[in-house]
Amino acid sequence: MIKKILIANRGEIALRIVRACRELGIHTLAVYSEADEQSLHVQLADEAICIGPASGSESYLRADRILSAAEIGDIDAIHPGYGFLSENAEFAEQCESCNIEFIGPRSETIKKMGDKAMARETVAKAGVPIIPGSDGPLANEIVATKVAQKIGFPVIIKAVSGGGGRGMRIAHNAVSFAKEFLSARMEAEKAFGDGSLYVEKYLESPRHIEFQILADKHGNMVHLGERDCSVQRRHQKVIEEAPSPFLDKSLRTRMGKAALKAAQAANYVNAGTIEFLVDAKGNFYFIEMNTRIQVEHAVTEEATGIDLIKEQIQISSGKRLSFSQKDISLDKHAIECRICAENPSKGFIPSPGTIDLYYAPGGHGVRVDSHVYGGYMVSPHYDSMICKLISYGRTRKIALDRMYRALSEYIIRGIDTNIDFLKAVILDPAFRQGEATTSYIEEFLARAPKDLLDKPVKESRK
Which of the residues are catalytic? 292
The secondary structure of 387-408 as a DSSP string is EEEEEEESSHHHHHHHHHHHHH
Contacts of 322 (CB under 8 A, 6+ apart): none
Burial class of residue 406, CB neighbours in 10 A (0-12, 13-18, 19+):
buried
Backbone angles phi, psi at 168, to 5 degrees: -130, 125
**C-alpha to C-alpha distance for 145 and 130, rounded to whole angstroms:** 20
Helix (H) or strand (E) holding 250: helix 249-265
Strand, coil or helix: 283: coil
Nearest partner of 271 among 312, 242, 303, judged by Cα: 312
Strand, coil or helix: 412: strand
Helix (H) or strand (E) holding 300: helix 297-304
Contacts of 391 (CB under 8 A, 6+ apart): 334, 335, 365, 366, 367, 399, 400, 402, 403, 406
List strand residue ranges (DSSP E) for 330-378, in order. 333-340, 342-343, 349-350, 353-354, 357-359, 366-370, 377-378
Helix (H) or strand (E) holding 49: strand 47-52
Contacts of 372 (CB under 8 A, 6+ apart): 40, 355, 358, 378, 386, 387
Contacts of 355 (CB under 8 A, 6+ apart): 372, 373, 374, 375, 376, 377, 378, 412, 413, 414, 415
**C-alpha to C-alpha distance for 307 and 94, rounded to whole angstroms:** 28
Distances from the Cα of 43 to the Cαs of 28, 48, 222, in angstroms? Answer: 11, 8, 35
Nearest partner of 84 among 154, 9, 173, judged by Cα: 9
